[in-house]
C-alpha cells in the first residue's frame, strides 16, 4: 500500500481533488473534516475542550466556533493548546482508518497543513494542488461567507505555492475546469501505480 498526501492552499481545490479520487474508488481521509467531527463527537476530546475553554465551547452539543475564535483571537496560545488536544486524536483516528483500508493499493490523506504539521513525512508521495491567487480568492468568495481581506490573511499565514511545490512529487494545476482536473488526476494515479 502507498500513502499519498494531498495538500494545497486555501481554495486551491484539495476537496475537489479528493472527491474525484474518491469517485475513482480510492479511500480518502479528510483530516480537516475528521478533526471537526472528532471535536463534536469524541467525548474525551469534548471534555478536554470544555476544561480549556469552559462549557460555552459547545452550543447544542456542537463546537461553538464563534466563541472559540473570539477567545483564541485574544489569546493565541490557547489555539496552540487546542491543536495539541486535537492532533493526537486525529492521528489515532487516521491510524485506525489506515488499518481498515489496508487492502487498498493506494490511500490518500487530504490535509491543509500536511507539510507544516510534519505529517508529510509519513507519506510515500505528495500531491500539491495549485491555482492562481486570484482564482482561489474568487472561488472561496463564491463558496464561503468571507471577505477577500480575510482570505488574503489566511493565505499569508500559510506556506506559499512555491514552498509547497518544493515538497511535491506531483503538482496538480487546478486553474482549468473539472474535466481537465479528472484527466490530470488519472494520469498521476497511473504514474504512482507504475512507480
Instruction: List b or e across 78-100, with b for residues whose CB sees 16 or more CB atoms inside 10 angstroms.
Output: eeebbeebbeebbeebbeebbee
Instruction: Please say which residue, 100 or 144, places its beta carbon nearer to ligand ATP.
Output: 144
Instruction: Please say which residue, 14 or 34, places its beta carbon nearer to ligand ATP.
Output: 14
Least distance to ligand ATP from the beta carbon of 101, Å?
21
- Rounded Cα distance between 186 and 163, Å, is 25
Q: Does 12 bind ligand ATP (CB under 6 A)?
A: yes
Instruction: Please say which residue, 52 or 146, places its beta carbon nearer to ligand ATP.
Output: 146
Which whole-number Å values give the CA distances from 39 to 49, 110, 186, in the listed order?
Answer: 8, 18, 34
- Considering only residues 71 through 100, tell me which ones interact with ligand ATP, judged by CB under 6 A: none
Instruction: Please say which residue, 17 or 71, places its beta carbon nearer to ligand ATP.
Output: 17
Least distance to ligand ATP from the beta carbon of 179, Å?
9
Identify which range of 38-46, 71-79, 114-122, 173-181 contacts ligand ATP by CB under 6 A: 173-181
Q: Does 14 bind ligand ATP (CB under 6 A)?
A: yes
Cell of 63: 463546537
Identify which range of 14-22, 95-103, 162-170, 187-195 contacts ligand ATP by CB under 6 A: 14-22
Find out whether 14 and 160 touch, Cβ atoms under 8 Å: no
Tell me the H-state helices in the chain.
Answer: 14-23, 31-41, 43-53, 65-74, 77-100, 133-143, 148-157, 161-166, 178-194
Q: Which residues bind ligand ATP (CB under 6 A)?
A: 8, 10-16, 112, 139-140, 143, 174, 177-178, 181
Amino acid at each position: 500500500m502507498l500513502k499519498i498526501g494531498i495538500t494545497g492552499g486555501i481554495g486551491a481545490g484539495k476537496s475537489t481533488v479528493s472527491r474525484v479520487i474518491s469517485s475513482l474508488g480510492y479511500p480518502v481521509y479528510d483530516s480537516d473534516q475528521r478533526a471537526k467531527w472528532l471535536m463534536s463527537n469524541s467525548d474525551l476530546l469534548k471534555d478536554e475542550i470544555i476544561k480549556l475553554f469552559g462549557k460555552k465551547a459547545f452550543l447544542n452539543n456542537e463546537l461553538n466556533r464563534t466563541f472559540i475564535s473570539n477567545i483564541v483571537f485574544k489569546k493565541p496560545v490557547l489555539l496552540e493548546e487546542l491543536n495539541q488536544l486535537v492532533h493526537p486524536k486525529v492521528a489515532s483516528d487516521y491510524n485506525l482508518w489506515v488499518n481498515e483500508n489496508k487492502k487498498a493499493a493506494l490511500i490518500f490523506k487530504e490535509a491543509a497543513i500536511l507539510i507544516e504539521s510534519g505529517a508529510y513525512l509519513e507519506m510515500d508521495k505528495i500531491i500539491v494542488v495549485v491555482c492562481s491567487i486570484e482564482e482561489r480568492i474568487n472561488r472561496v468568495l463564491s463558496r464561503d461567507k468571507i471577505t477577500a481581506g480575510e482570505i488574503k490573511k489566511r493565505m499569508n499565514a500559510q506556506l506559499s505555492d512555491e514552498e509547497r511545490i518544493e515538497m511535491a512529487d506531483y503538482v496538480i494545476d487546478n486553474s482549468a475546469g473539472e474535466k481537465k482536473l479528472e484527466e490530470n488526476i488519472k494520469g498521476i494515479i497511473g504514474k504512482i501505480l507504475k512507480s
